[in-house]
Amino acid sequence: MATSVLSLRIDGELLDRLRQHAAKRGMSVQDYVVRTLIRDDFDERFQTAVEETEKFYGVT
């Protein structure tokens, strides 16, 4: 299996929230984000978020 690197730039408040959520589960931020991305319902939740963002900005 090939691997790739994903680099994110996020603001400090969001990073703090991610750290808190990860710490509650005894995980690193990286592990928490990866586990969130591989959840079964991620695709549906992501699509809904994209649609809501597009509605907000009047893209659709």
All structural domains of the chain with their residue ranges: 18-58
Q: Which amino acid is at 50?
A: V
| Entry pTM | 0.59
pLDDT at residue 29 tops 80: yes
φ, ψ of residue 43 to 5 degrees: the values are: -60, -45
Q: With contact defined as beta carbons under 8 Å apart, do 29 and 18 qualify?
A: yes
Q: Inform me whether the pLDDT recorded for 1 exceeds 80.
A: no
More confident position, 41 or 55: 55
pLDDT reported for residue 25 = 95
16: tokens are: 């703090």
How many Cα atoms occupy the beta-carbon half-sphere of 40 within 13 Å? 0
